[in-house]
Amino acid sequence: MTSASDLASFAALIADRTRAAMCLALLDGRAWTAGELAAHTGVAPSTATGHLHRLVTGGLLVELRQGRHRYVRLAGPSVAQLIEDMAGGIAHRPAPARGLRAVTASEALRRGRTCYDHLAGRLGVAVTDAMTRRGLLDQAGGFALTPDGRIWLTAGLGVEAERLRPGRRALVRGCLDWTERRWHLAGVAGAELCRTFLANGWVARVGTGRAVRITPAGTTALDALLDLTDVD
């Protein structure tokens, strides 16, 4: 059984502003170097290395090596879910962003972003709502993929049926969006949806962060696939 001491030690891993900022940055689903995270959080490289060592040792991050380069990323979907759920449970009262760049970056995240490996922000919520209206998702008693939804993913989007088989990770689940305060689609189906949208060029990343934007091709595709025309 987990002791109170173990739980307190685990909670302390992200009870630090710098380490929390690192975990939030890594919700983009990609691997970052220590130098990139140091620059992102505004700390010295040696300080970042110390924080990352604690996060890796604590099991929140994993280290990847490619040649002489070392990267870190979240340890898996369950860690991403934990961080996003904690962020979603906060009663947000954000201070007004200062400066045009900060305002632009904040609005870009609200408009659309990746939440580890699925879509979030207004884009993610809009797609989830459209799928529900079309009978592809059932939110009546929680999140469930309907038979039509499974056909839509495989025949409509070209997702391999093998990828949708039951496994350790939930096929679908609702993720409370921390900016919209509503649910967006997560789980395996959410990840496959995001992967397909990115691969088809329907959404594109904005800069090097988590923000994504819908492309003209994506606007056409969402209209055809989901009758979704108004995605801001």
Residue 89 is encoded by which pair of tokens? Answer: 């449970």
In this prediction, the residues of the chain whose per-residue pLDDT falls under 50 are: none
d(CA 7, CA 2): 7
Instruction: Give the tens place of pLDDT for each residue, 127-178.
Output: 999 999 999 999 887 889 999 999 999 999 999 999 888 777 889 988 888 7
Residue 107 is encoded by which pair of tokens? Answer: 């609005």
- Tell me if residue 129 falls in helix, strand or coil: helix
pTM over 0.85: no
> What CA–CA distances, in Å, run from 181 to 38, 91, 175?
30, 10, 10
In the chain, the domains with their CATH numbers are 4-75 (1.10.10.10), 87-226 (no CATH)
pLDDT computed for residue 84 by the predictor: 78
pLDDT computed for residue 98 by the predictor: 59
> What CA–CA distances, in Å, run from 59 to 38, 55, 78, 203, 225?
20, 6, 11, 31, 39
pLDDT computed for residue 158 by the predictor: 92
- Tell me if residue 150 falls in helix, strand or coil: helix
